[in-house]
Chains A and B, each alone.
Chain A
Amino acid sequence: EPEVTQTPSHQVTQMGQEVILRCVPISNHLYFYWYRQILGQKVEFLVSFYNNEISEKSEIFDDQFSVERPDGSNFTLKIRSTKLEDSAMYFCASSRGLANEQFFGPGTRLTVL
């Protein structure tokens, strides 16, 4: 069964460093998403991406964040200058269509020291 994959599973970085989180969505899906979940808190939407552009973003997704689909399979989230409060699980998700269910990857645990 096709699934969303994410790398790395765990990323440790120093405050102020740049990180890139990678995702490979399900191959026939057209919509891609990034969510984050701070430990013990709810899953929060960051950004959605369709047709090679951002279609929606939340207040969390400020200028420190960017997304890219550099080729036909990868979907990346970049955090330019990490802060302590960026420590969280970051989930990538994809869906076939706008109204369809989203399937989540296993997540990347980001730890900012």
Chain B
Amino acid sequence: QKEVEQNSGPLSVPEGAIASLNCTYSDRGSQSFFWYRQYSGKSPELIMFIYSNGDKEDGRFTAQLNKASQYVSLLIRDSQPSDSATYLCAVKIPAGNQFYFGTGTSLTVIP
């Protein structure tokens, strides 16, 4: 069973703070990792992807990957109320081309 686990939250942070979202996965062979943002009633919107161990930064977002610990995280710096959404972690395993999604973490940024 290929599992992607996320803390469902809700996670609340004050505006301007750093939000930290975490994801673990069970398939050690997983190679590609994606973070999507989903507003209520909307489709997933790609934020970032990461393939290699370490950090990858894009604007206010930083993805961190640790394959040895089977852990991927997303940091959102200077959080804004518009960042309030559910954040989905998606993992692609080498065999096949489907994504496995976690249940998502609900983030609320308080003005």
Q: How many residues of A contact B (CB 8 A)?
A: 24
B101 in contact with A42 (CB, 8 Å): yes
B97 at the interface (CB under 8 A from A): yes
B42 at the interface (CB under 8 A from A): yes
B43 in contact with A91 (CB, 8 Å): yes
B98 in contact with A33 (CB, 8 Å): yes
Once A and B bind, how many residue pairs between them come within 8 Å at the CB atom?
Answer: 54
Chain A residues closer than 8 Å to B49, beta-carbon distance: 101
Given A42-B103, A43-B44, A107-B43, the answer on whether A101 and B34 have CB atoms closer than 8 Å is: yes
A interface majority secondary structure: strand
31-72 of chain A: CB within 8 A of chain B: 31, 33, 41-45, 48, 50, 55-56, 58
B102 in contact with A42 (CB, 8 Å): yes
59-93 of chain A: CB within 8 A of chain B: 89, 91
A44 in contact with B99 (CB, 8 Å): no
Chain B residues closer than 8 Å to A43, beta-carbon distance: 44, 88, 90, 99, 101
Q: Which residue of chain B lies nearest to A105 when distances are taken between CB atoms in the complex?
A: B43
Q: How far is the CB of B17 from chain A (nearest CB, A)?
A: 27
Chain A residues closer than 8 Å to B103, beta-carbon distance: 41-42
Given A42-B104, A101-B34, the answer on whether A56 and B98 have CB atoms closer than 8 Å is: yes
- Closest 8 A/B residue pairs (Cβ): A45-B98, A43-B101, A104-B43, A42-B103, A56-B96, A107-B43, A104-B44, A101-B49
B residues engaging A (CB < 8 A)?
31-32, 34, 36, 42-46, 49, 51, 88, 90, 92, 96-104
9 further A-B contacts with Cβ under 8 Å, apart from A56-B98, A91-B44, are: A43-B101, A48-B98, A55-B96, A56-B97, A99-B31, A99-B32, A101-B34, A101-B49, A102-B34
| 24 A-B residue pairs with CB within 8 Å | A33-B98, A41-B103, A42-B88, A43-B90, A43-B99, A43-B101, A44-B101, A45-B98, A45-B99, A45-B100, A48-B98, A55-B97, A56-B96, A56-B98, A89-B43, A91-B43, A91-B44, A98-B97, A99-B51, A101-B34, A104-B43, A104-B44, A104-B45, A107-B42
